[in-house]
Amino acid sequence: MDPLQSIMKAYNEALFDTDRDGALKVVHEAVAAGVTPEDIVFKVVLPAMESMIKSISEDFDANLAQHFMTAQIATEVTEEMIPKFRAVPSVAGRVVIGTAQGDMHSLGKRIVIGCLKARMIEVTDLGVNVSPERFVDEAVACNAGVIAISAMMVHTARGENGCLRVRQLLKERGLDTRIKIVVGGAPYHFAHDLYKVVQADAWAEDGVTAGRVIEDLIRRVR
């Protein structure tokens, strides 16, 4: 078996057991054996994360803790490996992310952040209960191409202080073509076209999908 395949198998087993220490042990032993940090991130961590989250996405709510641990481990490994890269990795893009005003849920957002960091996307986490004005102000300050808005309740997804207001502010400031909006959270799982109602550019059903969707949006605004 290819050494990387063996490493991925062991890493996947640790993820399945939500064994953080076991996953880190696999990574550290691989690096000590000569595997490059770049290969750890791009050929082990990212594929393993995508495979794991895809396999448990059929019942997202029941597996939410495992989603979270998978993303957290990926973030920790990625942040440890990046300083060891032979060349400074280029940033794939910049995103500001937060939970809509009136919404205090943060777990789903934190899962997405872990998935984005593993893709070399620079993330500014605005936290929870974020006002529309702050989303836009921070996106401008960070030179972000995407605003990611999480909402776990219908009224915060559709409310006047959520995505609809962010879109209005972008239009008022002439930023509508420069900054895209992606949304996610429970309401969008039950109404897939809701993102159109709130005037977002796209929605994502999980962290892995969010990474792909945001990469595409970043390419569109470059």
Q: How many residues does the chain have?
A: 222
Answer yes or no: are the C-beta atoms of 15 and 70 closer than 8 Å: yes
Tell me what pLDDT residue 57 has.
53
Tell me what pLDDT residue 118 has.
82
Tell me what pLDDT residue 208 has.
74
Question: Residues 6 or more apart from 125 whose CB is under 8 A from it?
Answer: 97, 98, 109, 113
Q: How far is CA 102 from CA 19, 47, 175, in A?
A: 34, 35, 24
Digitized pLDDT (tens) for each residue of the chain, 222 residues in all = 577 889 999 998 888 888 899 999 999 999 999 999 999 988 898 888 777 666 655 555 556 667 777 878 888 898 899 889 888 777 789 999 999 999 988 777 887 888 888 888 999 999 999 999 999 999 999 999 999 999 989 999 999 999 999 999 999 999 999 999 999 988 998 898 999 999 999 999 877 788 889 999 999 887
Q: Which domains does the chain have, with CATH numbers?
A: 3-84 (1.10.1240.10), 93-221 (3.40.50.280)
pTM: 0.79
Angle at 175 between CA 173 and CA 177, to 5 degrees: 150
Tell me what pLDDT residue 207 has.
75
Tell me what pLDDT residue 17 has.
84
